[in-house]
């Protein structure tokens, strides 16, 4: 490709960058292939009971009942605990985008968002946010967040992403975003769910980048 009035220096640098972009694409594909080859992890310790709103009324649903569309479940732990005055702005930014993609994701797999607050409190925030496509669950009455790295010993909430599979009727853990707990290299943040988050991918295309100290806000 060439664009109007570009210099030879620009084209040489861009071609070099293109080689790096191709290598990155190959690396992303190879990592995804390794992920797909993971054996199923440990069986879940219990059939967790969550709450969700159906037709405006709170109802219970078990983990095993979340596999309506195939045998895989993607579950994001939304940082909105009962002791938090407001939800995590970073989680909110990511979920703003995921809400729009939820119908497309549902064509291939199951997706839920789990928060520790009571379901009525979750619904109050998400209605104002316009999240009408995400399946939102409350884990206020179970130990899911604690068991699957979405909650610290002191009750602090963590933005964990987990994938579960159902094999011969048994629900097992498959993958978790363990980069959340890995020490970041110099100049990097945790960056454990960038693959789901259009915000950072868009900013990485700009000369200013994502910035060292900038983070999204709730408004």
Domains contained in the chain, CATH given: 49-178 (3.40.30.10)
As a whole number of angstroms, the distance between CA 60 and CA 52 comes to 6
The dihedral over CA atoms of 180, 181, 183, 187, expressed in degrees to the nearest 10, equals: 20
Q: What is the DSSP letter of 42?
A: P
The pTM for the full model equals 0.94
CB neighbour burial string for 129-144, b if at least 16 within 10 angstroms, e if fewer: eebeebbbbbbbebeb
Please provide the size of the chain in residues.
219
Contacts of 203 (CB under 8 A, 6+ apart): 209, 210, 211
pLDDT in single tens digits along all 219 residues of the chain: 999 999 999 999 999 999 999 999 999 999 999 999 999 899 999 999 999 999 999 999 999 999 999 999 999 999 999 999 999 999 999 999 999 999 999 999 999 999 999 999 999 999 999 999 999 999 999 999 999 999 999 999 999 999 999 999 999 999 999 999 898 888 777 678 988 999 999 999 999 998 888 899 998
Question: Given the structure tokens 């797909």, which residue do they identify?
Answer: 36
Contacts of 40 (CB under 8 A, 6+ apart): 165, 167, 172, 173, 174
Output the CA–CA distances (angstroms, integers) from residue 66 to 54, 73, 82, 110, in the order listed: 14, 7, 24, 7
As a whole number of angstroms, the distance between CA 194 and CA 158 comes to 16
As a whole number of angstroms, the distance between CA 43 and CA 170 comes to 7
Strand bridging mode 110-115 / 136-138: parallel
């Amino acid at each position: 490709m060439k664009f109007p009035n570009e210099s030879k220096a620009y084209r040489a640098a861009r071609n070099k960058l293109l080689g790096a972009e191709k290598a990155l694409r190959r690396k992303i594909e190879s990592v995804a292939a390794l992920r797909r080859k993971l054996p199923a992890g440990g069986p879940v310790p219990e059939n967790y009971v969550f709450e969700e709103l159906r037709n405006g009324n709170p109802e219970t649903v078990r983990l095993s009942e979340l596999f309506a569309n195939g045998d895989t479940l993607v579950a994001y732990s939304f940082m909105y605990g009962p002791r938090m005055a407001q939800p995590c702005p970073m989680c909110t930014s990511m979920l703003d985008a995921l809400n729009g993609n939820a119908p497309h994701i549902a064509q291939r797999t199951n997706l839920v968002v789990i928060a520790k607050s009571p379901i009525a409190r979750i619904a109050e925030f998400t209605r104002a946010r316009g999240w009408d496509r995400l399946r939102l669950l409350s884990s206020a009455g179970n130990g899911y967040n604690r068991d699957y790295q979405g909650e610290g010993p002191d009750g602090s909430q963590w933005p964990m992403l987990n994938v579960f599979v159902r094999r011969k009727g048994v629900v097992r853990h498959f993958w978790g975003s363990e980069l959340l707990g890995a020490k970041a290299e110099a100049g990097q943040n945790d960056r454990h769910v960038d693959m789901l988050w259009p915000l950072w991918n868009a900013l990485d295309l700009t000369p200013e980048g994502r910035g060292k100290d900038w983070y999204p806000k709730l408004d």
